[in-house]
Amino acid sequence: MGSAADFPKIDFTSNFQNIINNALSSTPETRQAVDPSTEELLYHVPLSKQADVDKAVSVAKAAFPAWKALSYDERAGYLGRYADAIEANVSGLQELLMKEAGKPVSNAAGELQFAIAHVRETAKLRIEDDLIEDTEERRATVRYLPMGVGVGIIPWNYPVLLGLGKLGPAVLAGNTFIWKPSPFSPYTALKLGEIAAQIFPPGVVQVLSGDESLGPLFTAHPDVAKISFTGSSATGKKVMQACASTLKRLTLELGGNDASIIYDDVDVAQVVQKIGPMAFMHSGQICMDIKRLYVHEKIYDEFLAAFVQVVKSFKVGGGGDPEAFLGPVQNRMQFEKVKDLYSEIGKQKWQVATGGEPVAYDGKKGFFLPPTIIDNPPDDSRIVVEEPFGPIMPVLKWSDEDEVVRRANNTNMGLGASVWSNDIEKAERLARRLEAGSTWVNSHFELSPYVPFGGHKWSGVGMDWGIVGLKGWCNTQASWVRKKF
């Protein structure tokens, strides 16, 4: 592991440019994102066009043969050094992340810590050939070969972790990688690209910033082998359609409407302390946050009262607030969507257990909304059917196992789900009936670089992370060797 002195320091307050062929690259036009805590404009960033995409893809394609020829250990060495360089610049990255994403100190620090660990642990993964048959006459082997130029289209909610979580497996598998950050949060990505330019050979890792028109330029490009996209289900469908014209490989990690089912045998005081952060972390702007909470009717009133007290204890504050747990909604577009859902409270006469319509925030700067719990709304309510992606959620009653499984599965989404009980066997039995890419017993939103995550149904195609995710960056090849003619 290198020391901080081994790596040049990056300026995190100016000179935000694309990284193409390990060089800073400007564009004639620029744009600015907004600090969601203050609504103030942030730094100018490039507005990439077709020529920038063509250049980056051409460079990545040219770098691919030499990069894939390296061994896994050699490529892992680059990733380890990259993790060290990121860690050497972590304070500047954290300040930038708090500005662009509106993250309080604990959330920003946690994202960076996990992201650095993710790069280091990903570097330890290896894909071995699968020996299927080996007889005197013949040998059959399955191999996993890198694809070529990969593009990661990254969302605004976890811009560092989700970006590095695609970069690491892509380059470890032998691909070259282009990072396209969200227009709402381009800053950390550009600086992580600047750091990468100090570590990787030219063309292996590049970063291009732009507006909503940039993604389609990559999905249409004939020399891009794979798109890995994280974002909404609606946009994911458009990405899938766009990739069809060139039959690109793709991974889609899309929205979720995660259900959490609470049995009546739990320790209520203990469980609410765990569930509160898992439901409201990053103000509900995580695909794997708990979005629907089903509580057994025998403990419903006790649970709801205790859960409300936990949520009331969460301080709301701006990016960089050391005491805040909840920050703002990250951008105005999402803010208006979530506000529209809050407006249903009065119209539909939902029972509010805490929070409510954001009257107290009117006229104040920043995209802040009060953490809100809706008490047992009808199953066909928007708050139950839709993914809010904001700090508002329903708590619902249940009494029958078959009924609650049906209700939990009654959605187009299938990202994650959890079951909470002191009877582990019973909880696991119910969890196996839930239609989701990840299930948990007595936890939620638990992740590891070694374990894949992704969704069923409209929550995605394929999976990221772990050996499964690493193979997703490879073409499968069947190899036959005839030993005797």
Active site residues: 253
CA distance 249 to 209: 22
Residue 30: other Cβ atoms inside 10 A: 14
Is the separation of the CB atoms in 430 and 229 below 8 Å?
no
Is the separation of the CB atoms in 10 and 77 below 8 Å?
no
Is the separation of the CB atoms in 168 and 174 below 8 Å?
no
Residue 385: Cβ-neighbour burial (10 angstroms; 0-12, 13-18, 19+): middle
CA distance 246 to 222: 6
SS3 392: strand
Residue 297: other Cβ atoms inside 10 A: 13
DSSP strand pairing (176-180 vs 138-146): unpaired
Beta sheet of 372-375, edge-to-edge order: 352-354, 372-375, 392-398, 290-296, 258-262, 416-420, 438-441
**334-359 as b/e: b if 16+ CB within 10 A:** bbeebbebbebbeeeebeebbbbbbe
CA distance 279 to 271: 12
Structure tokens at 312: 């009331």
